[in-house]
Structure 1
Amino acid sequence: MSKVKYYYDPDTLSYRKIEPKKSRKYRNIFLFIVGSAIFGTLGHILLLNTNILNTPRELSLQREVKNFDLQFELLNKKLEQMEYVLANIEDRDNNIYRLYFEANPIPEEQRRAGFGGVNRYRSLEGFNNSEMIIATSKRLDIIQKELVIQSRSLDEIAKMAEEKEKLLQAIPAIQPINNEELTRMASGFGWRSDPFTKARKMHWGMDFTAPRGTPIYAA
């Protein structure tokens, strides 16, 4: 509250009250209103950024949200590790296993193909963290699809390995007759004229000539 001021009037020989000017009065009122508004705004911001007005349930929910954020961060790190390991297996599959068994490599666009059609993630929209949840779900779906493709590829490789093993078991490891009994090698591996049709054909073995009754060895 402002102090009341007086001045001495020599004409009336008395003290008179000094009345403040209206402009100064209005200015003081304006400054008071502006100051109150600034103070109120700062106080409101301060309260919103502290836990003073939060209820125990709100504090619990805040802790749960932070925990979910941490779990998502850990999950994404694990996904990165899975993607790295899977990429290494895919590289070995195309450049080692399939190359050894003379099989065509799986095209990159087939391994990385996305999902067409309807929106698979519509149910995850509309939440505070929808963008993060949808992105993580997409990564999981892509990894799952790549694992299915790689699993089928390894099954195919395993089947080719079995067939290769049977073929190797059928190929002679030693010469079928003793050199002492060998008369001559009648025909070698490669293209030749068929002895019956005279047509040029691929000969997939070697023919040995020996006297009748010569022992035959197989291994």
Structure 2
Amino acid sequence: MSKVKYYYDSDTLSYRKIERKKRRTIKYALFFLFAAALFGFVFVFIASQYLESPKEKALQRELSNMQIQFNLLNKKMDEAEAVLANVEDRDNTIYRLYFEANPIPEEQRRAGFGGVNRYSKLQGYDNSKIIIETSKRLDILQKQIVVQSKSLDEIAVLAEEKEKLLASIPAIQPVKNEDLKRVASGYGYRTDPFTKARKFHYGMDFTAPRGTPIYAAGDGVVVRADNNSTGYGNHIRIDHGYGYVSLYAHLYKFNVKKNQKVQRGDIIGFVGSTGRSEAPHLHYEIFKDEERINPINFYYGSLTAEEFDKLVEHASLENQSLD
């Protein structure tokens, strides 16, 4: 209950009750309400500027956590880019070089994305620039990984093909050294044993006892095992693929049949003296793209350096051939 207030009236020498006018009361009330509203507005404004609500605190924590995760993401991207750069360098300078494939151009590896703006949905935010830049980095990194993955797939195919090629090339001596009497004749001009005329000898003659095993010089398919070729007698031809064919002539007998698959080191026949031959030996030839080439260059798979040097020395002597 409000207190009753009095004032002293000097005329009547007595206290008189103060009568508040309604108007003034309303005026005071309105003033009070205005002051309260103003104070409330100032308080809310100051609070909004310097004090955080629980929701704002939660959002701030979430934003800080996102910033930490963003920094971690960028570090991981830096590491991924460094690893990928190392793989790309080895791919261009080692793998593709070894398998005789052209290096992937740097422009192709680093190419961006043209055309429509892929990042329009990310614009208009406070951190749009940094979000867009990170998205671009991720997209380019993903594209680089795809390019590198396809390159490694290609390298895997080339490696498999190279392995097949290395296994197929006729790369071993068809008669073992311990079974040899001597290398009777090499590739080049030699004296014919029958006409005594000087003629070109297209293979190598390995002298060995009748029945000595003859080995396939590389993986392939037997395309001939017969005696229907003039002068060769019983002979075998193996197609190794990649344009290579090896020929083994004057055999005593066969150990394979036509269309049979063989692997390097398989026994395919035995030394003999059939056809145009003066004594038991193996006449050995190699064809590349249907042209006869010197077999001396294809023994790296079975001879030591010393044995190869001796073979070259004997094969280069211009003596008499045995066929």
For the criterion TM > 0.5, the same-fold answer is yes
* Equivalent position of 1:137 in the other structure: 135
The TM-score, its normalising length taken from structure 2, stands at 0.44
Quote how far apart the aligned CAs of 1:44 are.
10
**Aligned-partner residue type, residue 136 of structure 1:** T
The root-mean-square deviation of aligned C-alpha atoms, in Å, is 2.6
Task: Determine helix, strand or coil for the equivalent of 2:214.
Answer: coil
* Equivalent position of 1:40 in the other structure: none
Residue in structure 2 matching 1:208, options 195, 204, 207: 204
Distance 1:79 1:175 in 2: 54
- CA offset digits 1:144-195 (Å, max 9, x no partner): 00000000000010001111111111123421135426431235xxxxxxxx
**Aligned-partner residue type, residue 137 of structure 1:** S
Distance 2:211 2:187 in 1: 17
The TM-score, its normalising length taken from structure 1, stands at 0.64
More helix by share: 1
Task: Determine helix, strand or coil for the equivalent of 2:114.
Answer: coil
More moved, 55-64 vs 127-136: 55-64
Contact 1:181 1:214 in 2 (8 A): no
Distance 1:70 1:134 in 2: 18
Task: Determine helix, strand or coil for the equivalent of 1:118.
Answer: coil
- CA offset digits 1:22-65 (Å, max 9, x no partner): xxxxxxxxxxxxxxxxxxxxx99975653x2x321122112111
Identity of aligned residues (%): 61
Which structure has more RCO (C-alpha within 8 Å, separation ≥ 6)?
Answer: 2
Equivalences, count = 157
Distance 2:182 2:46 in 1: 106
Structure label with greater radius of gyration: 2
- CA offset digits 1:85-136 (Å, max 9, x no partner): 0000000100111111111111100100110000000111111111111111
Quote how far apart the aligned CAs of 1:213 are.
7.7
* Equivalent position of 1:117 in the other structure: 115
Task: Determine helix, strand or coil for the equivalent of 1:126.
Answer: coil
Contact 1:184 1:208 in 2 (8 A): yes
Contact 1:101 1:160 in 2 (8 A): yes
Structure 1 gap ranges (5+): 1-42, 188-205
Structure 2 gap ranges (5+): 1-42, 189-201, 217-264, 266-323
